[in-house]
Amino acid sequence: MTRYIIRRLAWMVLVLFGVAVVTFIIAFLVPGDPARLYAGSNASPASVAIIHHQLGLDRPVYVQFVDYLWRVLHLDFGYSYRYSAPVLPAILQRFPATAELAVAGVFVEVVVGLPIGILAATRPGSIWDRITMVFTFVTLAAPPFWLGLIFLYVFGALIPIFPLGGYGAGMPQYLFLPALTLGLGGAGYYARLLRAVLLDILPKDYIRTANAKGVTPGTVMFRHALPNALTVLITQLGMDLGYFLAGVVVIETVFAWPGIGKQAVDAIFNLDIPLVMGTVLFGALLIVTANVAVDIAYTFIDPRVRY
Amino acid sequence: MRFHVRSVAAFAAGLMLLAACGNTSSGTSDTPVSGGTLNIAMKDDFKTLDPAVAYDTDSWSVERALYNGLLDYQGFTTQLGPDIAAAMPTISSDGKTYTFKLRTDVKFSNGRTVTADDFKYSFERMLNPKTQGPMTGGSFWGSITGAADVYSGKATQISGIKVIDPNTLEIDLDSPNQSFLNVLAMPFGFVIPKEAVAAAGTDFAHHPVGTGPFTLATWTPGQLLVLKKNPNYFGKAPYLNEVDFQIGVDAQVGFLRMQQGQADLVQPDINMPSAQYIQLSTDPTFKSRIVKTPNVDIWYLGMNVNMKPFDNKLVRQAFNMIVNKANQIKVLNGRGVINNGIQAPPMPGFVPSYNPLSLDQNGQSLDKAKALLTQAGYGPSHPFPAQDLVYPKANADSDNLASAIQQDFQSAGITINLKGLSFPAFLDVTGKPNTTALSYDGWIQDFPDPSDFIDPILTCAAANVTANGGNVSFYCNKQLDTLDNQARGDTNPADRLKLYQQIQDIVASQDFPWVPMYSTLQTSVSATRVHGYQLHPVWPLVLTSIWVTGGK
């Protein structure tokens, strides 16, 4: 186990290095001069040239890259061009809002997705199965930004029971709609996944045996069937972090939620390369860490798994 | 400023247009009441509140409330008057020395009285490369004697700025510049206290101290920026106690908030999106609350005179007769006026009926255009080559405006391929020589003076660059430069405007580096509890005239 963790951590470093390289290359391939954006579109070429120099953008690319890596190793992600502030504190300052939204989104996924999946799997072919599958189809197909705007219009303006976006210091009424938007798509996916896995598990011998012994349907489901489906779900949950980070970019923008997703969008539009690279690296670190955590979690969920 | 900057001016002929558009203040004729909080929904967070650095209207919206300069525009006009200066400056007979007497009752929000030393410090800091502001390098302020030594690092003090006594400031220029007073009124000329900059370390942007009617109370990045009334303000106290900028609110959601009473203004520094404009124009509650006023801007097709086929003047002249300018304004829901010149409507020197090519009411003359193209050697045996039209995807209207151009040229037998780019990419490819042949451009004022529509975008100096140029046509005419230099120093306003008219003729009826198309109208709307809200000809937002009734 220890060797496995060390091996995975080494992989983590390699993956993050790869992400840093790719992000850096992309950032330099994107057309546009950050110094022009920084200075203002009306600034004279001479002014832009001076700022170009001040930002260190006139150094050879490889020098900039080595400098960047060296600073990242010291947890210095550089200075945001747009906000003239250190990148890492800017990300950390906004991360709690994103984390809060992500956790709430997972909660919606689980609370909505699992019962629907169980309902559909235990009554395959029934009207309930059809209704739930239509529901999951709609939630999966609906683009989050569209769904978010519809929710805002219906529940914020038409029937004003929730605020029209904003953070509100994380109060539940502000969190509800963005979390619902973020979680619904995942809930549909989880419901379908759980239905498929359970349809595979429920005909198995040990389930039939439990039923034959007179075990209640609830116990059969929650003690025997569901734990065996969890491995698949947990794997998916680990991979979902990437989906969530992509999702929050859109949802934070629609709901004026002050997280790292909204900040990243602003950074991209303003060619704020240090902030873009910092956010991507931070996101990659979260995803890689989550995947390692999921691998470790297997050993607790399924005693047969050993590394 | 280019794009994303709201601006207007009201002068001479522009006043007529302004009156026709009805820039009346929103609200009723109620007696103003003090107190209350104004809530403003903003899409983007503020870049900085350091006046030496900010060059965007979002930041200027707040800076205007925090700081003051020597001069300011009087009321809601483009007429300059004294602000911290006690009176307009005395100007030497050679037009090169400006002497300002300062008011003695102006205090920073930290309680200290403003002196001439503070202006000297503020200007030198603004031009110092270490400040990383956009004015270093020569934009606008380069004519101050010794300024170049500061931004080239040879000196830390500008020899041309002299403190005669605590209340007298003298500024020497290398050569006369009739737009220098406009330059001084830009936010880069706001005064800040040295000790506050020192106390803030490298972060004065988030800890501003100024002399304005408001002070910064809190700024939570990405969420909320709160301004409070400044008890030390030297002018007439604002009605509002507090202004809350709700940050990160998309325009669509912002207007929903306004209709629900959760916001009073939505992104006042940019034009209303078409969708909301159409919706609110028919809304019984809000249609009378929409305010409009002319922007000091010009939108045009830039043709690179060094690239084929636009190196042929006949082609450029023909292109000037093909675009249906009336259609462009229709796409903007009527929020614009046809402009066949290079000056913007409410600016000194603008001629409303200017039409040197005798174009029809749509701004076209298709038969003449076809004849010119034939004369240029194009016809059935030698069809005109398809052209890429590069344009910025700035907002929801961008694609529609470009598509309308495409159709206009299609009707003249010319294929135009649309190439929409992000704004940074657009600036990149249009700012480099020999890179973009045809582009959809706009120029919005830095200040309401004709020089701002020539110096940065039509002179040889602006064309002779390797990157980040504003002269997208890379057009250079020495005669124009001579007239421009002459106009810059001409102390007779009427003669000066005649020189600018000659320049306009050279561009619009002789050399044709552009296809001038239209100038826009700024539109904005406020919630029903807001009174006294007006659009300013220059500033993106003026808070001091606003009062609110009801709410917190």
A154 touches chain B (CB under 8 A): no
In chain B, % of residues over pLDDT 90: 73
Query: Which of A36, A43, A271 lies at the smallest CB-CB distance from B139?
Result: A43
CA angle A87, B52, B146 (to 5 degrees): 130
Q: What is the CA radius of gyration of chain A?
A: 24
CA dihedral B276→B4→B351→B516, nearest 10 degrees, is: -100
Tens-place pLDDT, residues A217-261: 888 888 888 888 887 787 777 777 777 777 788 899 889 898 998
Determine whether the interchain pair A50/B256 forms a contact, defined as Cβ–Cβ distance below 8 Å. no
Task: Provide the H-helix boundaries in B341-396.
Answer: 366-375
Please give the ipTM for the structure prediction. 0.80
Mean predicted confidence (pLDDT) in B394-416: 92
Which of B189, B190, B167 minimizes the C-alpha distance to B180? B189
CB contact under 8 A, B253 and A152: yes
Which chain B residue has its CA at the smallest distance from A164's CA?
A: B257
Whole-prediction pTM = 0.86
Q: How far apart are CA B358 and CA B355, in angstroms?
A: 5
Q: Looking at CA atoms only, how far is residue A42 from chain B in angstroms?
A: 5
Asked if the Cβ–Cβ distance from A256 to B253 is below 8 Å, we say: yes
DSSP sequence for B183-198:
HHTSGGG----HHHHH
Q: Which of B73, B74, B85 is nearest to B119 (CA)?
A: B85
| Residue contact A32–B446, C-beta within 8 A | no
B530 DSSP β-pair partners: B548
Query: Which among B139, B203, B445 is the top mutation candidate for probing chain A, defined by the most A β-carbons within 10 Å of its own β-carbon?
Result: B139
| CA B78/CA A66 separation, integer angstroms | 51
Q: Reply yes or no on whether the pLDDT at B16 is more than 60.
A: no
Q: DSSP alpha helices (H): ranges in B355-412?
A: 366-375, 398-411
Query: Of the segments B18-27, B223-232, B467-476, which one has the largest average pLDDT value?
Result: B223-232
Minimal Cβ distance to A32: which of B55, B138, B428: B428
d(Cα A287, Cα A241) in Å, to the nearest integer? 6
Q: For chain B, say whether A169 makes contact (Cβ under 8 Å).
A: no
Best mutation target, B43, B141, B202, B256, to test chain A (most A CBs within 10 A): B256
A32 to B424: CB separation less than 8 angstroms, yes or no: yes
* Listed range (A76-80, A168-172, B287-291, B467-471) with the worst mean pLDDT: A168-172
Nearest to B102 by CA among B92, B117, B112: B117
Q: What is the mean pLDDT of chain B?
A: 90
Of B47, B56, B260, the CB nearest to A160: B260
pLDDT tens-digit profile of B77-135?
Answer: 889 999 999 999 999 999 999 999 999 999 999 999 999 999 999 999 999 988 888 88
Q: How confident is the model at residue A28 (pLDDT cuts 50, 70, 90)?
A: confident
pLDDT band per the 50, 70, 90 thresholds, residue B208: very high
The Cα–Cα gap between B452 and A134 comes to 60
Q: Distance from first CA to last CA of chain B, Å, rounded?
A: 36
Q: Which residues in chain A touch residue B283, judged by CB atoms under 8 angstroms apart?
A: none
CB contact under 8 A, B3 and A164: no
Q: Do A83 and B221 touch (CB under 8 A)?
A: yes
Residues A41, B422: C-beta atoms closer than 8 Å:
no
Q: Is A47's CB within 8 Å of B139's CB?
A: yes
User: What is the least distance, in Å, from the CA of A297 to any CA of chain B?
Assistant: 35
What does R_g of chain B's alpha carbons equal in angstroms?
24
Residue B28 in this model has a pLDDT that exceeds 70: no
Token pair in block for residue B481:
């430069």
Residues on chain A touching B53 (C-beta within 8 angstroms): 84
Least Cα separation, residue A31 to chain B (angstroms)? 5
Distance of CA B451 to the CA centre of its chain: 13
Question: In this model, does residue B2 exceed pLDDT 50?
Answer: no
**Which residues on A lie below 8 Å from B259 (Cβ)?**
157
pLDDT tens sequence across A281-292: 888 888 888 888
The answer to whether A27 faces chain B, any CB pair under 8 Å, is: no
**Reported confidence tier of residue B552, pLDDT bands at 50, 70, 90:** low
Separation CA B440–CA A97 (nearest Å) = 40
Question: In chain B, which residue's Cα lies nearest the Cα of A151?
Answer: B253
Give the one of B132, B220, B260 whose C-beta lies nearest to A51's C-beta: B132
- Cα distances (Å, whole numbers) of residue B174 to B66, B89, B161, B177, B524: 31, 17, 12, 9, 41
Residues in A 62-121 with any Cβ partner in B closer than 8 A: 82-85, 90, 93-94
The overall average pLDDT reported for chain A is 85
Q: What is the pLDDT of residues A99-156, one digit of tens each?
A: 899 889 888 988 998 888 888 888 888 888 888 888 888 888 888 889 999 999 999 8
When mean pLDDT is compared across B258-262, B271-275, B354-358, B546-550, the lowest value belongs to B271-275
**CA–CA separation, B57 vs B60, rounded Å?**
5
Query: Which chain B residues are closer than 8 Å to A30 by Cβ?
Result: 424-425
